[in-house]
Structure 1
Amino acid sequence: MNKALIQGAIEVPYRRKTEETTIKWLGHAFEQLTSQLEVDVNRIDGLGVASFSLKPDRCVDMAWQLGLKLSWWMDDSNGGVSGINLLQHAIAAIETGQARNIVLLAGDAFHASDFKDLVANYNQTTRQYLTPLGIANPNSLFALITQKHMAEHGLERSDYGQLVVAQRKHATKNPNAVYRNPMKIQEYLEASPVSDPLVVFDCVPVVAGANAILISHVDEVRNRSGCVRVKAIKGMHNFDNQIGSGLSTGLSQIADGLFADAKLKPSDIHLINVYDDYPVMSLVQLEDIGIVSSQNIRRFLREDVIENRIAINTSGGQLSVGQAGAAGGMHGLVEAIQQLGGRCGERQLKVADTALVTGYGMVQYRYGMSANAVILEGIK
């Protein structure tokens, strides 16, 4: 992976409600990205799009809307793993000469009926088995996983709240976050219940928004300062055929190889962005990639996390910024690219040379089937 560089990334500020279409949101992201990076649009020959609500249109329709002539394109509607999945394929396309400049877009703009239809018909299993039981969204499923995780590790609700409160603290410095007001642990504990033991702050708020990333061949990049290189990238999907506990993901199968490819150790990573649809899954992923051990989760939450000893989801994560459908799978990537490029303003880390980003999602009967991760390195 020596020929491809990530030139930059942007996030269009999310909104709780919108009258604009998904095409409009994706278009805004494309325009902001190319304007900020001063890219000649005529040199863009690759496009990847992740979206649930773009249908019946697809990536090629988006290309027509943007006036792009493409040699490579890709659709992806795989939710929380879509951003890293698109990146994995785009890097391969650059490395093998299929394209020179690829823009990746991710976004959704749901109206109430659109989102209701998505969760009720997410896949055949949801439609046939879960919706008839009155399970209208994943909250009930992940409440069960949280209960299991609490019992296995001897945790209380306040332990999970430490992660939520810490991420909200990061969000106070992020002008794009939907929720920026500081939160105290008592506010979390007294929040409206959703599905025991989950409260409203444990569940990502649905928003409208879009993200964009530009990956280019090194020969296309005039100034490499502030660019980002992929050190290692891997995915693992349906690793346990839905017969496990849900307290592990495919990351457990790829973590060692990921760090070996990058020639780094977990302690070498300055920033970790894990897919945070629920606090329990953030903790599961952090354990799978070797950041925390099962014996130290409570200490990790009450010391390392709350005292800001470790940089996790520095944007505030989806729990504070919001989940714009498939854009959720690109949110952590965008934050990492901006941090490594020194473009995060007030929340910029003092030292940000390496980052690890995870993706998780595609809930089947019980929990997510898919997981992937990427290790990134900034270029000074």
Structure 2
Amino acid sequence: MPAAVIIGAFEHPGRRLPGYSLARVHQEVVAGALADAGLSPQDVDGFFTDSTAPGHGVLDLAQHLGLAVTYSASSEMGGSSYVAYVGHAAAAIAAGKCRVAVISLAGLPAQGQKLPTVGEIAPSIAFHQDGRAGGYGPVADYAMVARRHMHEHGTTPEQLAWVKVASSRHAAKNPNAFLRDEVTVEEVLESPLIADPLHRMDCCVVTDGGGAVVVVHPDVARDLGRTGAVLHGHGEATKSSLVGEVDLSYSAIRRSGELAYAEAGVGPSDIGYASLYDSFTITVLMALEDLGFCKRGEAGPLVEDGGLVAGSGPLTINTDGGGLSNNHPGNRGGMSRLIEAVRQVRGEAHVELQVPDLEWALVSGTGFRLGSSHYSSTIVLGRFA
């Protein structure tokens, strides 16, 4: 018996929202997701959001949204938060704590909003374990991971560039995508070098906006009579730099994926669509290997020559354009990855990119920095009709 069903989903169409407040973005995405589900604010008794919620967090935001909730949570797992929250909402629903839960993201980085750093959340831990204490930025952190992958496996900048090329081809079919122009490998490599070996086009976009999903008890889903995405498996993991003993050859995605597969009773070969966190091109290569879609060191050859373009290879990923081309609201990409997976499961993705007869979809989110301390959450979804 499934624990929960994602029955409503909405991604804000805006990518630059001057004059907006975080509260307004939350209001619009929650209203959109509830309308998609066929529910009202009065039906909601569970609410999940991140640490940037305005005012006194969940307390003030729920009041602003007109939600009288009996179960809520507001924490910070970076871009993996919203993928993790699906599992948390399902656990709360299974325990009888709520029946209709909303998960909401709002971000305005183009307006000056900043994601809290690990140093601000827990300075003593950050001093010892987070590379930011050494003064280098996020691109440099991921560049270390990319350089290590190149050293160990012969991965090339051209192979990294193919990840961006695939995302741009998908985004070209998405009218809301922040970047809709298709690019070539040569254009990626000619874009400015930010931190060797990562170029500007190897990096995700920075956008305003947000999104929300509605997770409900299966009985509620049946009463609504809507197609949804059933949660079959959920896994979370963390990985730290171990006070300097850094192993960049794998990420926490490996363990979160193992847990999600085990709970769902499926494996990588069963997955027809995957929403993979793509903060940088190297993040995708690491996820492909850590989730078992290819062997260690084989992600580079897998993605080159359009291997990730829908219909060109054994696995379809990020058909909305992903964080590299479509949307990365509030510097967190997990919600957008989740929403596109729900579209795929419900058969609502772009007609040229929809995976036919899709049975299993996977969503993987990563929070904070792959080369140092980070979170990962992975879920496996199936169709509910």
What's the TM-score once normalised by structure 1's chain length? 0.91
Count how many residue pairs are aligned between Structure 1 and Structure 2.
377
Contact map agreement 1:4 1:218 (CA 8 A) in 2: yes
Q: How does 1:251-290 map to 2 (within 5 A)?
A: 251-290=253-292
Counterpart amino acid of residue 273 in structure 1? S
1:106 matched residue in structure 2: 105
Shift of 1:116: 8.5
> Secondary structure of 2:12's partner?
strand
Kept after mapping to 2: 8 A contact 1:14/1:324: no
Query: In the alignment, residue 49 of structure 1 is paired with which amino acid?
Result: T
Give the corresponding residue for 1:233.
Answer: 234
Which residue identity is paired with 2:228? C
Deviation track 1:81-128 (CA, whole Å, cap 9, x = no partner) reads: 101221111001111110011111012112564339859857526679
Q: How far off its partner does 1:192 sit? A: 1.5
Q: 1:116 to 1:41 in 2, by over 3 A?
A: closer
1:320–1:126 Cα change, 3 Å: farther
Q: Report the secondary structure of 1:177's partner residue.
A: coil
The residue that corresponds to 1:142 in the other structure is: 142
Tell me the residue number matched to 1:379.
384
On the 8 A contact 2:37/2:226 being kept in 1, the answer is no
Q: 1:119 to 1:190 in 2, by over 3 A?
A: farther
**1:175-210 alpha-carbon deviations (Å, 9 max, x no partner):** 221111111111111111211111111111211111
Residues 319-340 of structure 1 show CA distances to partners (whole Å, capped at 9, x for unaligned) of 1113112642211111101110
The 5-angstrom pairing of residues 82-231 of structure 1 reads 82-111=81-110, 113-115=112-114, 121=120, 124=123, 134-135=135-136, 137-221=137-221, 222-231=223-232
* Identity fraction in percent: 25
Return the alpha-carbon distance in structure 2 between the equivalents of residues 156 and 326 of structure 1: 27
Match of 2:347, SS?
Answer: coil
Instruction: Tell me what 2:368 maps to.
Output: 362
**Secondary structure, counterpart of 1:115 in structure 2:** coil
Of the three residues 317, 335, 338, the one matched with 2:322 is: 317
| Distance (Å, rounded) in 1 between the aligned partners of 2:271 and 2:318 | 13
Separation in structure 1 between the aligned mates of residue 6 and residue 157 of structure 2, nearest angstrom: 39
Superposition map of 1:72-87 within 5 A: 72-87=71-86
Structure 2: stretches of 5+ with no match in the other structure: none
Q: CA deviation at 1:167?
A: 1.1
Contact 2:206 2:331 in 1 (8 A): no
**Superposed displacement of residue 352, structure 1:** 2.1
- The residue that corresponds to 1:330 in the other structure is 335
**TM-score of the two chains, using structure 2 as the length reference:** 0.90
- Whether contact under 8 Å (1:224, 1:379) holds in the other structure is no
Q: Which residue of 2 aligns with 1:8?
A: 8
Tell me how far apart the structure 1 counterparts of residues 37 and 304 of structure 2 sit (CA, whole Å): 40
Match of 1:66 in 2: 65
Offset from partner CA, 1:321-380 (integer Å, 9 cap, x none): 13112642211111101110112233322232210111112338x424211210000124
Aligned match of 1:305 in 305, 308, 321? Answer: 308
Which residue among 344, 351, 361 is the counterpart of 1:339? Answer: 344
Cα 1:279–1:123 change in 2 (3 A) is farther
Q: Provide the residue aligned with 1:249 in structure 2.
A: 251
Q: Decide which of 349, 352, 365 is 2:355's aligned counterpart.
A: 349
3-state DSSP of counterpart to 1:92? helix
Root-mean-square deviation (Å): 2.5
Q: Kindly tell me: are residues 337 and 153 of structure 1, through their superposed partners in 2, closer, same or farther at Cα, counting changes over 3 Å? A: same
Q: Is the 8 A contact 1:271 1:355 kept in 2?
A: yes
Q: Is the 8 A contact 1:14 1:177 kept in 2?
A: no
How far, CA to CA, are the matches of 1:13 and 1:153 in structure 2? 39
Unaligned 5+ residue runs, structure 1? Answer: none
Q: Find the aligned partners of 1:224 and 1:301 in 2 and give their Cα distance.
A: 39
Q: Name the CA distance, whole Å, in 1 between partners of 2:204 and 2:116.
A: 18
Task: Give secondary structure in 2 for the equivalent of 1:6.
Answer: strand
Structure 1 residue identity aligned to 2:207: V
Going from structure 1 to structure 2, the CA distance change for 1:77 and 1:350 (only over 3 Å counts) comes to same
Q: Do the aligned partners of 2:15 and 2:207 also contact (CA within 8 Å) in 1?
A: yes
Q: 1:116–1:234: structure 2 CA closer, same or farther, 3 Å change rule?
A: closer
Which piece of structure 1 moves more, 187-196 or 250-259?
250-259
Name the aligned partner's letter for residue 62 of structure 1.
L
**SS of the counterpart of 1:378?**
strand
